[in-house]
Amino acid sequence: MSAPTVRRRRLGTKLRALRDGRGLTLEDVAEKSASTERPLTIAKLSRLETARSAAKPDDIGHLLDLYEVTDDELRTALLALTREGGQRGWWQSYRGVLSPVYEDLISLEAEATSIRAWQLGIIPGLLQTAEYAREIITATAMSEAVETRIDALVEVRLARQAVLTRERPVDLWAIIAEDVLRARCTGDGVMREQLARLHSLGRRPNVNIQILPTGSPPHVGQMGTYSVLSFEDHDDLDVVHAESLTSALYVEDRKQVDVYRAAFERLRATALPVEASADRIAEIREHG
């Protein structure tokens, strides 16, 4: 089963809202469609609303008829989402290298308008140099399958960073624990080069980097690393991505996402201001 794209999730959310707005259950819609030329099962309707199945324009047009949607602008927008949801992304050329969960993260990053990232253990992937990425991927590889794909995984990590420099770049706000900047890489000059890249990227108007100083009092970030990905005009589609050694968790429940947002604001208030953080990065690069 393919991972749901943001477009498919947006479409599913809109379809569910249309159904709820008419006071219909999935069973009601399935029964209503049973006598038509395109009957839709409860299972199929559920997969469309949860974005676990790619939609076909004919099915969506049929649903809009069942929901008596006459707004031409809305119909056009939803049918456009349907067609765009099936588009291939660059990362799909790495099928066999990437897990479906990782593909989903890349698709979310590709369509996000803002990303708020808290990192407790490493430099965020969107800010890594090639050599630093190689060290991290090698150090955290826990299977032979990953070890044989390190070159490809480094390529993917660097390709992801195009979201920072595209025509409408993503707005990245990253908070990084200071201890991360003081880690000793095995490669000569790897961390100096990485810190230089952090300092450089932090000058971009769409990138803000804050450092949470060593010795800070206990804080909410100690519970783990995560990112909040947001999408223009669709705050109901915000997603939290939390990654561990063996798996990744996506949080989409709005109340839970709000908790992560609030935690990020606490971290932002605790961390050094952006300018002071840039000075700290430069200081560590020069003096360790």
Domains of the chain, start order: 6-84 (1.10.260.40), 93-287 (3.30.870.10)
With a cut of 50, say whether residue 1 has pLDDT above it.
no
Confidence of residue 262 (pLDDT cuts 50, 70, 90): very high
Q: Report which residue type is found at 212.
A: L
pLDDT of residue 234: 65
pLDDT of residue 227: 97
Alpha-carbon Rg for the chain, nearest whole angstrom, is 22
Q: For residue 90, what is the DSSP state? A: G
Confidence of residue 3 (pLDDT cuts 50, 70, 90): low
Confidence of residue 229 (pLDDT cuts 50, 70, 90): very high
Lowest mean pLDDT, pick from 168-177, 223-232, 256-265: 223-232
- pLDDT tens for each residue of 180-195: 999 999 888 999 999 9
With a cut of 90, say whether residue 82 has pLDDT above it.
no
Residue by residue, DSSP assigns 185-252 as -SSTTHHHHHHHHHHHHTTSTTEEEEEE-TTPPP-GGGG--EEEEE-TT-GGG-EEEEE-SS-EEEE-
- pLDDT tens for each residue of 134-170: 999 999 988 887 888 999 999 999 999 999 999 999 9
Of the ranges 93-102, 232-241, 261-270, the best mean pLDDT one? 261-270
Average pLDDT, the chain: 91
With a cut of 50, say whether residue 15 has pLDDT above it.
yes
Task: Using the structure block, give the residue that is written with the tokens 């949080």.
Answer: 251
Helices marked H in 41-187: 42-49, 57-66, 72-84, 100-111, 130-140, 144-147, 150-160, 178-181
- pLDDT tens for each residue of 34-54: 989 889 999 999 999 988 888
